[in-house]
Amino acid sequence: MKTILRFIGSALLLGILVWTVTINVAIAPAQADLRQLEEAPGQIVYQSRQTLKDQQGNSWQAIAFKRIRPDDTAVIYLRLVGFPGTADIDHSQPLILTDSMGKTLTAADISQDIFTDKTQMEPDVGQYNLQPILMQLESAVPLQLILPTLDQSEIILNVSPEMLREWRLLTDQK
C-alpha cells in the first residue's frame, strides 16, 4: 500500500512539474524584437512594431522608434497607422496614455513631421512624441492609448506591459 501511495505521489508531483513548465513556456512573453535600420549615412533607426486592435476590432500598426541622427541627437516617436477609412485622427489634439492605475499622460501630435505636404496629411496616420513621457510610464501595468478623432469619438488601443517594456528598450539603443 505504501508503495502504491508513493508511486501516486511521485506521479502527481511529476505531473505538476510538467504542467508548470508547459504553462510557463506557453505564456512566456515574447522576446524584444527591435529592428535596426540605417535610413541614411550615420542616421540609425531602431523600431518596435506591433499590431493593435481598437474597440471596433480594426487593426492598427503601432511603430515605436528611436531615430539617431548623424549629430548624435535622438528622438523617440510612436507612429499609429490605421487602414484607410478607419479614422479621421484629430491632429490638433495629443494622444492620451492612461494606465490601469489611472495615471494619465499626453504625447504631442507631431504628424506634420512625416508629411512633406502639410495640407495633405493622411487622416488615419498619427505620430506622437514619446520622448518626454516614455520613462514615466509604468511598464508593469497595461496601458490604453486614446486617439482623438474629428467626429469627437475616441479610438482606444490597448498596450500590454510586454509591449511597453519593448518600447522602453528603445531608450537604451545608441
Rounded-to-integer distance, Cα 148 and Cα 139, Å: 23
Structure confidence at residue 2 as a pLDDT band (50, 70, 90): low
CA distance 125 to 87: 9
User: Residue 8's pLDDT is what?
Assistant: 66
Q: How far does the chain reach from its first CA to its final CA, in angstroms?
A: 65
Read off the pLDDT band of 10 (50, 70, 90).
low
Is residue 15 over pLDDT 50? no
Q: What pLDDT digit, counting tens, does each position of 17-61 carry?
A: 344 434 443 333 444 589 999 988 989 999 999 999 999 999 999
Report CA torsion sign: 164, 166, 169, 174: negative
For residue 165, the model assigns a pLDDT of 94
The pTM assigned to this predicted structure is 0.78
Measure the CA–CA gap between 87 and 81, rounded to whole angstroms: 10
- pLDDT tens digits for range 75-125: 999 999 999 988 999 999 999 999 999 999 999 999 998 877 767 788 999
> Mean pLDDT for the chain?
85
pLDDT band at 148 (very low <50, low <70, confident <90, very high): very high
pLDDT band at 1 (very low <50, low <70, confident <90, very high): low
- In the chain, % of residues over pLDDT 90: 64
